[in-house]
Structure 1
Amino acid sequence: MNFDERRPIDILETIGEIIEAAREENNLLKLEESIDILSTLIDNARFNQREIGILNYFLANVWSYIQRIKFPDEEFPLETPELEKQIIHLRIANRLLKDTNDNFKKCQIQTNLGNLFSHIGRFSEAQEYFNQCLEIDQNFEMAIGNRGFGLYYYARVVFDATQQFIFMQYARKDLLNAIASNQVYNEAKYAFAGMVKQIESAYPLKELNDFKKYKDFYKKLDKKEINYKKWSAENKLFINPLNDILTESVVAHDYLFIPTMILKSDDKLFFHSMFNQLKQEFVSVRFLFYESVNSPKPHFSDKEVVLMDTLDYSDYSFTLEKIKIAFRVCYSIFDKISYFINIYLNLGLDKNRVSFRTVWYNNLDKNKGLNTKLLTTKNWAMRGLFWLSKDLHEKEFDTTIDPDAKEIATIRNFIEHKSFKIINSFNETWTKKTETFEIDRQLFYDKTFKLLKLSRSALMYLSFLVYDEERKKSIEQSNELTIPVNFLKIKDADKI
């Protein structure tokens, strides 16, 4: 197909028509051919950034159509290249269209990402995509309806009955808003209506319509603590499922933990102790990051520290070291989670070699296939953790589903082992020097914040994973001698 003499806008229209025609015909061959066409067009210098973003959006759609043909009953395997390709191309499109005024396309992309993330078990992050869409257009009804859809399924893994009910309230509210819209197509309305009926059959209508007004839990706190808690809640950084719905003071605490367990009489409280460690590390670097981005003046510890100005616009300070600490600790949390999973699920993998990318595979080797326990699991949060691991780069894996993953891994390597520099003014000639990794200050903030959000999600999914596994254990019969382990809370006054 020759597009050489046609305008980019006309090419986009034509290729869009070709793709939709192939979808309507369920023509797998034509869809596969369109992948080659799109891949060629993406590399064509005639297209600008926005147009390349739309081409990536088209590619994601093609992969979704191929998936539907291959798996018509919607029961997809845990891992398929079609799912990976959709996420990769939607994320690329999202990044390329970010600074454009094409709000409708941006909303479509973020809604599709929300649906995909909900499907693969990354249900907390799915809500973020829906909310980002609605920040652009608060009346984008498909995002509202799908957010409600996602909240309904999210509620099913929430173990606390009160929180689960609140999730159902907000799910129903979104679903009803979408049903009343003229923007939502009939098939979606039918699905949304069916879900509303399920919710209304489980709870009285009077209670579902009663959205509580929560008291202000900040009143007795000092201003510094209030500011920190507000920032954490608004950025949805509390390890608390309700923080994915609300930002009021009622959610401003790290509520989520792992459940009480039935253990053998000679077992130690390893899992609870390790979750303590992971949670404490996270909340500590959350505060370090908050302090750093809200630091108005130099710290006294930097006074009279003699440093040479090397005339390369580089910055050095205690403030920046705190952000680097946050970056390193957040990254380390992922491998510690894999260590936890290996022991908890009795995978029998080498404890000295296990990593977050490899823990899911037989003998830590992706070429030997996924572990049977993962392949057969119905644990949605376990699937979510598996897919979250695909956001990280390791040299043994040639692909990730996050286009920024390799750079983030490189940053970690340079911070830990090599020369790393934060600069205030970007200088291309310096970045060509391979001895040092240079990064713009704001860009490093953004990447650290991204890791902070990702590690928060990972800890949430780990907690839900354990809750689901323990629920299954509790209904299984066992003749082994066991003892119940009750939850004893450490007092705040003892955290010195």
Structure 2
Amino acid sequence: MEVERIAKELQRLSKLVNLGSFDRALADVEAVYKKVNESDERKAVYFRILSNIASIFIDIGHMKPCIKSTQTGLSILNDHKDEIIEQIGSDSYFYNLGNAKSNLVCEKNPFKHNFSTIEQLVEVKTDFWKSIKFSGDSLSSEVHPAYIVNLGNSLKQQFRIAEALDCYDRVNSLNIDIPQSWINRSETLMILNQVSNTYSIQMLEQIKDGYENVLSSKEIPASWLEYYRQKAALHQNKIREVREEANIEIDLHDSEKTKSEYNELSEYRKFCLDNNLSLSEHGLYCACAGSSRDNLTIPTLGGVVGDFVIPMEMVLNRLKSEFSFARHLYFDYLTTEQDHELLHDSCFSELFNDELLGIDVEKLRTAFRSCFGILDKIGIAICELLDLYPPNGKIYFQSFWQLDKENRREKFNNLKSPGLLALYSIATDLNDKKGGEWSFLKQLRNDLEHEFVVVHKTENPSDIYRSYDFIKNIVFIKEDDFLEHLERILQLTRSAIFSFVFAVRDKALNEKKDNSIYLPNNIFRKDYK
């Protein structure tokens, strides 16, 4: 097997794919795959080459598109899983696996998904979470941007809008030429419009800007540019129509005003916006004065109806109150200097065992536990709203769904909405029986309630006096890891709160005869500027 020649050939094929020559690339990669398979060599380099071949098949399957090409790539990954992981790492393997499965999702329109078809998306999402966790366990700059973009794409398909936008914003802030991030951010904002039944001129501007950013990319096939040029022009026209209808003049300094308004916000509110922890619909995509409060409500300016709206708004008040408390505890821990006098007053015995004690660390522990209480309350409210109590009557957010019992999947399908589908998707992340990549967070919450959990600073806590020996079940967690886990559960909880609001709003709008006024072409619903 001529390794160097094959490597050059694979580079050539990748360039063909980037240029949009999919038919030629497919024919050539099939020829290379056949030749490689004829080799008797099964050294490490063989499996690395197979991995690259699988990636090309999968890329062609996505961009052409071609199911057969994707299936070939997926078969290579499945047939040689252990060997490929050994060569390229688990993060790259699950990223490619997620891409392949994503290509094979039967329904491409998220609004046509139900509680049967969404299982495909749940599996894809889990693979992308794995790729990120294996590369660093967080959405930090250390993670390959493509992993974050494709996770965002999967979350977008499951209406997890807040999290998807967070993914794209993280990647776009790196100023790397990844046009898929801009494209999908614009598409997510359009989904937000439909799901939330609200819009703003700033939303339209950002959709347009996303498509315009693609036009300068060197990573888009030239044949695709005209399509995105038309999308940008379409939204420019819509912005003009909205301004004319509302008699709003174009403000050439709007971006500067947004920056000025942001700079005038409190440090706490900046923290909420910078870390995507606000409960403001406008704050999902814009950090201006309109995002200065957690003004998320179930009613919109267009109006909603239903006897359940006020009780559900009461629920939302409770969710916002508890979330804002958890969020502020997190903020305090990160920004407030330790109160040594309070620590001194507590008179902790010095055991030299590296355990963090006192009010500060209790802020983290309390914030973490609070998030699961919020999620369970969302589960209760949804069961009350839609009469979805499980057979056993027990409501835990991650497990009350029980779709395979007593025809519940059919019942959920009759009630499906984007918000409800999103809540189910979030629940699967926390459910170990669904392979949820974040299910250990639920176990950590239970440990915090019922076991001894030691939060420590150093990599391996010392214990000079063997203070930990007497207790059989002690859970040790490093402070940095605990902070990462808290950030993740805060993000999941925030996403669930938005999805809860959208689910209630959807039910209310369905009960309203004339529930929306449309802009031209029925694309944007009109509620507020």
Q: Provide closer, same or farther for how the CA distance between residues 198 and 62 of structure 1 changes in structure 2, counting only shifts above 3 A.
A: same
Cα distance in 2 for residues equivalent to 1:369 and 1:28: 34
Match for residue 244 of structure 1?
Answer: 284
Residue 427 (structure 1) aligned to one of 460, 465, 488? 460
Aligned partner of residue 303 in structure 1, secondary structure: helix
Cα distance in 1 for residues equivalent to 2:338 and 2:217: 50
Offset at residue 37 of structure 1 (A): 2.4
Match for residue 148 of structure 1?
Answer: 186
Offset at residue 131 of structure 1 (A): 1.5
Match for residue 484 of structure 1?
Answer: none
Unaligned runs of 5+ in 2: 1-36, 244-248, 516-529
Residue 360 (structure 1) aligned to one of 364, 379, 401? 401
AA in 2 matched with 1:185: P
Q: Provide closer, same or farther for how the CA distance between residues 374 and 17 of structure 1 changes in structure 2, counting only shifts above 3 A.
A: same
Match for residue 312 of structure 2?
Answer: 271
Residue 179 (structure 1) aligned to one of 215, 233, 236? 215
Q: Provide closer, same or farther for how the CA distance between residues 180 and 398 of structure 1 changes in structure 2, counting only shifts above 3 A.
A: closer
Cα distance in 1 for residues equivalent to 2:381 and 2:269: 29
Offset at residue 76 of structure 1 (A): 5.1
Q: Provide closer, same or farther for how the CA distance between residues 269 and 88 of structure 1 changes in structure 2, counting only shifts above 3 A.
A: closer
Return 233-242 or 302-311, whichever deviates more: 302-311
Residue 37 (structure 1) aligned to one of 79, 84, 98? 79
AA in 2 matched with 1:283: S
AA in 1 matched with 2:457: N
Offset at residue 54 of structure 1 (A): 1.5
AA in 2 matched with 1:158: S
Cα distance in 1 for residues equivalent to 2:414 and 2:327: 35
Match for residue 315 of structure 1?
Answer: 356
Q: Provide closer, same or farther for how the CA distance between residues 197 and 470 of structure 1 changes in structure 2, counting only shifts above 3 A.
A: farther
Match for residue 335 of structure 1?
Answer: 376
Match for residue 485 of structure 1?
Answer: none
Aligned partner of residue 89 in structure 2, secondary structure: helix
1:411 to 2:444 alignment: yes
Offset at residue 154 of structure 1 (A): 1.4
Offset at residue 367 of structure 1 (A): 4.4
Return 255-264 or 425-434, whichever deviates more: 425-434
Cα distance in 1 for residues equivalent to 2:55 and 2:428: 29
Q: Provide closer, same or farther for how the CA distance between residues 3 and 287 of structure 1 changes in structure 2, counting only shifts above 3 A.
A: farther
Match for residue 204 of structure 1?
Answer: 240
Offset at residue 375 of structure 1 (A): 1.7
Offset at residue 139 of structure 1 (A): 3.0
- Indicate conservation of the 8 Å contact 1:169/1:209, yes or no: no
- Indicate conservation of the 8 Å contact 2:177/2:217, yes or no: no
Aligned partner of residue 117 in structure 1, secondary structure: helix
TM-score, normalised by the number of residues in structure 2: 0.75
Match for residue 133 of structure 1?
Answer: 171
TM-score, normalised by the number of residues in structure 1: 0.80
AA in 1 matched with 2:314: S
AA in 2 matched with 1:228: Y
Return 70-79 or 235-244, whichever deviates more: 70-79
Match for residue 510 of structure 2?
Answer: 472
Aligned partner of residue 44 in structure 2, secondary structure: coil
Residue 52 (structure 2) aligned to one of 7, 10, 13? 13
Cα distance in 2 for residues equivalent to 1:466 and 1:120: 17
AA in 2 matched with 1:464: F
Larger helix proportion, structure 1 or 2? 2
Give the % identical residues: 17
Cα distance in 1 for residues equivalent to 2:499 and 2:241: 31
Cα distance in 2 for residues equivalent to 1:282 and 1:424: 26
Cα distance in 2 for residues equivalent to 1:215 and 1:60: 37
Match for residue 167 of structure 1?
Answer: 203
Q: How many residues align?
A: 454
Offset at residue 286 of structure 1 (A): 1.0
AA in 2 matched with 1:65: N
Aligned partner of residue 296 in structure 1, secondary structure: coil
Match for residue 386 of structure 1?
Answer: 424
Aligned partner of residue 139 in structure 1, secondary structure: coil
- Indicate conservation of the 8 Å contact 2:375/2:397, yes or no: yes
Cα distance in 2 for residues equivalent to 1:115 and 1:35: 21
Q: Provide closer, same or farther for how the CA distance between residues 150 and 210 of structure 1 changes in structure 2, counting only shifts above 3 A.
A: farther
Residue 195 (structure 2) aligned to one of 141, 157, 175? 157
Offset at residue 61 of structure 1 (A): 2.1
Q: Provide closer, same or farther for how the CA distance between residues 325 and 34 of structure 1 changes in structure 2, counting only shifts above 3 A.
A: same
1:232 to 2:237 alignment: no
Offset at residue 281 of structure 1 (A): 0.7
Offset at residue 191 of structure 1 (A): 5.3
Q: Provide closer, same or farther for how the CA distance between residues 209 and 351 of structure 1 changes in structure 2, counting only shifts above 3 A.
A: farther
Q: Provide closer, same or farther for how the CA distance between residues 416 and 474 of structure 1 changes in structure 2, counting only shifts above 3 A.
A: same
- Indicate conservation of the 8 Å contact 1:299/1:319, yes or no: no
AA in 1 matched with 2:82: T
Unaligned runs of 5+ in 1: 478-496
AA in 2 matched with 1:426: E
- Indicate conservation of the 8 Å contact 2:94/2:128, yes or no: yes
Cα distance in 1 for residues equivalent to 2:296 and 2:381: 17
